[in-house]
Structures are given as structure tokens and as C-alpha cells.
Amino acid sequence: MRGAVHPERAPDLPSWLAYMYAPILPYLKRIKVVRAGSRRCRPRDILLPSGYVAEVVATGLDAPVQCCFDDRGFCYVAECGHKIDAKPRILKVDPGTGQYETFFTLPEERWNKTGAFTGACWHQGALYFTNTDTLSRLTPDGRIEDLVTGLPGLGDHQTNYPVAGPNGKLYFGQGSATNAGVVGADNAAYEWLPRFPQFRDVPARDVTLAGRNYAYRDVLGDVTRTVRSGAFVPFGTETTPGQVIRGDVKCSGAILRCQPDGRDLEVVAWGLRNPYGLAFHPDGRLFATEHGIDERGGRFIVGDRDDCYEVQQGAWYGWPDFASGIRLDDPTWGTGGQGREPVLATFPDADPPKPFVSFEPHAGANGLDFCRDAAFGFAGDAFVALFGDLAPVTTPRQAVPAGFKVVRVDMRTRQVVDFAVNRIAGPASKLPHAGFERPSHCRFGPDGALYVVDWGEIQIAPERGGVRMKAGSGALWRIRRTAGPAGDRPPAPVQVPLYPLQGAAIGGALLAIGVLVAWAIRRRRGRHAQVHGLRFRHGARRLTIRWPHIHRRSRLAPTRALAGTSCGSTSRPSTSRPTCSSPAPAAAPSRCRRPSRTSRS
């Protein structure tokens, strides 16, 4: 039995980009645009509670994504290599001086430019790191030992950074390949689909499908042709009711763990869209941040929040048919979105666990850490780096920027409170301040201070049909406690409707260009209509071009008479021109007769 087909609807921005760029992308890739440059970092532009101060530790970094510390207090900052002309690296930073050196550079053959080097942890005297779909160990002599390979990290989300658990095992999140379980045209805009056309999501356990399929333009072939894709299968593959997808321990949308040598890989929890940040509470509980569903592709909801979960062993958290523990087709989500019906025929858990706390939609809940030092304040609370929205790529409805700050989670009251925010809410590159651009990770150092990794600028790249990172715009910040009483939250930042203002500015610029072009065309046409004749020299002879007066009601195109030919007209002016004879040097130039109206066919 053939599965149900959801008709193709008005596509989102990533899908539109995929349709528009599919025929011309091979040519555009020949264009080389260098995006690099430093940026100003001004600590006073970051608002903090009283009793705290922000400092700049290091600048000029290339898309830094995460950091960790070794036993001697050195900070290791991972540069991700994601859509940037700079290889993935690990920098060794001296927090006292801000000086840094390259500790490790990922070999060229391991660099997946649509993937990401997502971070590292210091454990048992060595660095363990994750790169797109592999967990590896860097030995003291600089060799790379791959511990777990073949993880499903080639899609929208990668294998996320590792942390060491109280039991000595390594834990890491594995992101999903897609937005909501179905490979669609939006994944071509994320650039991985043309490279890995057979890639898809993989469940942790066997799942039975409802057989729903979604219509897309064929971005891998002829974009005028429609193909249909189901859940947990490659692009352009249909599913049927009752079809079973086999599970695998190397699954997407899950939290995994293994021994430090890579043995005993097992699933801790699954049904999570992108469990990005992991951290253990001082009491041993594991918490994970999760990125909510974007407003793109064949199925999505509007207003899904980013979440923080207390992870329960073996639990299924609902993705791709639930978000924040609520079914996608539940009235709670309103009437927006599309394709919200379940793709699973049966759920592993009809009532998945709810989030511990939730953040605003599209805030980008990334790395987190717990405070263990009473001298800093807020001992036992979680601090979360909110990367910031990617409007209009992930949502066209955003008005005020979401994220771009560090928040504190009160673990007793389950409240999310601002901790470090820009004085004007939003990224530094788009607003008149020099605070955070995009906080990607936060981690407490051995000195008790909170270190914040700032990713840097993301720029639209028309020649790529997507985005690219600006090299050299990343930074490492530090927030430390000062003397005096400590406040519990910073002053409120200024809120501006950044995205409507941006849209108005872009629309105004396009309108102005259109008016200028129309004016120039009209002016040029007016000049042509008023010209009676034009003389110029051709060698030793003078040539004369004459146009007849153009009347408003005349349908005749201007005719040109060139000296040196004989006058006449043809029955098809569109294929032959009137001619005139060449005058003697002393004779007056001949005139071309206007073709009679009866000569036109």
C-alpha cells in the first residue's frame, strides 16, 4: 500500500534557496570570497549583575565553538572549521596572559567542510575530541586514535562535544540529520545533501512508520520534477504504512556513552532533535540542552522552544513527533506549521518526559556548565550559552533577536534568569555595541571564573547559497567575581525590532535601486525619441544616421539610413533594412524614405 502524500506547499527560505541555486551552484562555486577580519570587543557593553566584571581573554579566533581545561589550568579552545576558510584547530590558551598557540590542527583529509569539529574534553591526561562523525583521542605524542567511527553526523547536526562522567565514561550528544525526521530540499541548502544523498536519520530502536510522505522538488536532479520523501529514509524515497526502520546504537538524535577506549558504546537516551550541550550536576545528575525545531522543510511547528532536560537512562524524548514533550499536532502549537501529523505509527512512549526548563524559541541553547564554587555565587546553578537565532533561515517570523547571551538556570525554582547580556539585545555586528556576537559555550575554569566562547560573525554568502563564517572574529571572554555584594541579575537590555528594521532597510534599498533603474531607462528612451539625426565620421567619409520622428501612436520601429546604400523598403522590415545610395563627396547626403505602412506585413 502506498503511503499518504502531503502536497507541496509554499516552501521555506532554505528550500527556496535550494530550488533557485540547484542549476547554478556548480558555477557559483568557482567564485572565491574571502571573509576575514577582527572585531572590537568592549567588556563594558556587556551587562552583568552587580559584583561581576567581564574581561577579554583572547581575540582573533576562527569560529571557536567550545573550550575545556587541563590539570595545569590551561584552556583548550576548539575552532570548528564549519563553513569557514580555516582548518579546525585546538588552541592552547594561557588564561593569565591571553597568549595562545596552536596545540593541534586537524589533518586536511579529516576536514569535512559541511560538518564540524565540535569540541574536546580533558580526561585521564589526554584530549578527547569529536569531529563531525567520529570520537577520537589525541595522544601525548600528537597521534590521533579513533575510538568510535561511523556516527550519523553528516547531516544538519554533528556528533557534539564529549564530557567525562563521574563513572569515568565519555558522554556525547549525537544530533539529528534533519529538522523533523524527513530529508527534504532544505537539507540541500545546508549543503550536505548533494554530497551525501543516501544519508538519513537512524533511530536507536526499531520504529514502525505511518507511511506519510512529503513532496519536494528534485534538488538532486531536475528541479522541475517532484519527488516524495518519507521519514528515516533517503531523499526521494517513499515509505509505506507499517514499514519498519531498524534501530542502531549509532543512532541520530540521541545521547551516547562509551569507555575511554571506545568500547561498550551504548544509548543513554534518544528521541532528541539535537542534544548539544552536556554537563553533570555536582550531585551526579546529567543535563542536556536541546535545539528546538526550525520553521523549515516539509514538517514543522511554529514557536518550538529550546530546552534543557534532566536525562533519564533509556528514555525516549519524542522527536520527531513531539517537541518539548508535546505532540506536534497538539493544539498547543496553534495552527501554524505543516506536516504535523505523526510519522510514527506507534510511539515508544506515549507521554515523553518534559523539559526541566525551556528557553525562548530559536535562542540556540548550546554549551552549559554548573557552578561548583561558592565564591563565585549561585553554586549548583547551571549557566547556559545562548548562541542566538538564525533568522530568517530558521524562522521568518522573528522580530527581536533571541539569545546572544548567557543565562542562569536556578535549579531550585526552575527559572531562567539573564546573567550576561549585551546592552542592546542582539549580535555586536548588527548593532551599535561591541559585546557578545554569538556565545557558543561557557565553562568554569580552575580559577573559579566563567569563561565564555564567542563564535564570531556569521555572514550571508550569496555565492554559496547559504552562510559562511568570518575568520578572525571569534573571541574568548571571562566573567569573574569582584568585591562587594552580588546581584542576582543584570539591568534590562535595550530591545530593538532588529529584523523588521533590517527588512525595511533591504526593501528600501531594493526599491531605490528599482526607481533609479526605471528612471534611467525612461530617460534613455526619451533621448532616443527626440533625436532627429546623428552625424559621425567613418574613415575619410562622413556618415549620417537619421531616425524618423517617433509618434505616440506609431508602431514603426526607428529605421537607420547609412550612407553608401540605395534607398528602399522591403515587405518585412524585421529581416531587412532600407538602404540609401552613397553621395558624392560634394553632394548633399541622401535621405532615406520612411517605409510605407502598406509595406509592413
Q: Are residues 469 and 552 in the same domain?
A: no
What's the confidence (pLDDT) of residue 392? Answer: 84
Mean pLDDT in the chain? 87
What's the confidence (pLDDT) of residue 211? Answer: 98
Q: Are residues 436 and 536 in the same domain?
A: no
Residue 117 in any domain: the answer is: yes
What's the confidence (pLDDT) of residue 530? Answer: 57
Q: Are residues 161 and 41 in the same domain?
A: yes
Please give the Cα distance from 517 to 511 (Å, whole number). Answer: 10
Query: Helix (H) and strand (E) counts for the chain?
Result: 4, 36
Residue 520 in any domain: the answer is: no
What's the confidence (pLDDT) of residue 548? Answer: 46
CATH number of the structural domain spanning residue 383: 2.120.10.30
CB 419 within 8 A of CB 48: yes
Q: Are residues 485 and 536 in the same domain?
A: no
Q: What percent of the chain has pLDDT over 90?
A: 72
Q: Are residues 482 and 579 in the same domain?
A: no
Of 512 and 144, which is predicted with more confidence?
Answer: 144
Q: Where are the beta strands (DSSP E) in 97-169?
A: 100-105, 117-123, 126-131, 134-138, 144-148, 159-164
In the predicted model, what is the mean pLDDT of residues 57-74? Answer: 97
What's the confidence (pLDDT) of residue 540? Answer: 45
In SS3 terms, 31-92 reads as CCCCCECCCCCCHHHEECCCCEEEEEEEEEECCEEEEEECCCCCEEEEECCCCCCCCCEEEE
What's the confidence (pLDDT) of residue 437? Answer: 98
For residue 201, the one-letter residue type is: D
What's the confidence (pLDDT) of residue 147? Answer: 98
pLDDT at 11 over 60: no
Backbone angles phi and psi of 4, in degrees to 5: -65, 145
Q: Are residues 471 and 355 in the same domain?
A: yes
Residue 135 in any domain: the answer is: yes
Q: Are residues 470 and 543 in the same domain?
A: no
Of 496, 522, 554, the one marking the end of a domain is 496
Residue 240 in any domain: the answer is: no
What's the confidence (pLDDT) of residue 435? Answer: 98
* Range with the poorest average pLDDT among 6-10, 408-412, 458-462: 6-10
Q: Are residues 470 and 538 in the same domain?
A: no
Give how many domains the chain has, as a whole number.
Answer: 2
What's the confidence (pLDDT) of residue 547? Answer: 47
pLDDT digits (tens, 9 = 90+) for 214-272: 999 999 999 999 999 999 999 999 999 999 999 999 999 999 999 999 999 999 999 99
* Range with the poorest average pLDDT among 80-94, 446-460, 485-499, 549-563: 549-563
What's the confidence (pLDDT) of residue 494? Answer: 96
CB 204 within 8 A of CB 248: yes
Note the pTM of the prediction, 2 decimals.
Answer: 0.83
pLDDT digits (tens, 9 = 90+) for 368-390: 999 999 999 999 999 999 999 99
Residue 15 in any domain: the answer is: no
Q: Are residues 545 and 594 in the same domain?
A: yes
pLDDT digits (tens, 9 = 90+) for 274-333: 999 999 999 999 999 999 999 999 999 999 999 999 999 999 999 999 999 999 999 999
What's the confidence (pLDDT) of residue 94? Answer: 98
What's the confidence (pLDDT) of residue 537? Answer: 47
Residue 323 in any domain: the answer is: yes
pLDDT digits (tens, 9 = 90+) for 348-373: 999 999 999 999 999 999 999 999 99
Of 472, 496, 520, the one marking the end of a domain is 496
pLDDT digits (tens, 9 = 90+) for 177-191: 999 999 999 999 899
* Range with the poorest average pLDDT among 64-73, 126-135, 298-307, 568-577: 568-577
pLDDT digits (tens, 9 = 90+) for 555-595: 444 444 333 443 343 444 444 444 444 444 444 444 444 44
What's the confidence (pLDDT) of residue 58? Answer: 98
Q: Are residues 50 and 110 in the same domain?
A: yes
User: Long-range contact list for 332-338, CB < 8 A, 24+ apart?
Assistant: 333/301, 333/302, 333/303, 333/304, 334/302, 334/303, 336/301, 336/302, 336/303, 337/295, 337/299, 337/300, 337/301, 337/302, 338/6, 338/9, 338/298, 338/299, 338/300
Q: What percent of the chain has pLDDT over 70?
A: 85
Of 328 and 29, which is predicted with more confidence?
Answer: 328
Cis peptide before 203 (omega within 30 of 0): no
Of 539 and 523, which is predicted with more confidence?
Answer: 523
In the predicted model, what is the mean pLDDT of residues 86-99? Answer: 97
**Confidence category of residue 97, pLDDT binned at 50, 70, 90:** very high
Structural domain that includes position 571: 531-599
Residue 414 in any domain: the answer is: yes
Instruction: Report angle CA 303, 309, 312 to the nearest 5 degrees.
Output: 140
CB 339 within 8 A of CB 299: yes
Q: Are residues 54 and 101 in the same domain?
A: yes
Please give the Cα distance from 572 to 560 (Å, whole number). Answer: 15
pLDDT at 597 over 50: no
**Confidence category of residue 8, pLDDT binned at 50, 70, 90:** very low
**Pick from 57, 44, 38: nearest CA to 457:** 38
Residue 523 in any domain: the answer is: no
Q: Are residues 460 and 583 in the same domain?
A: no
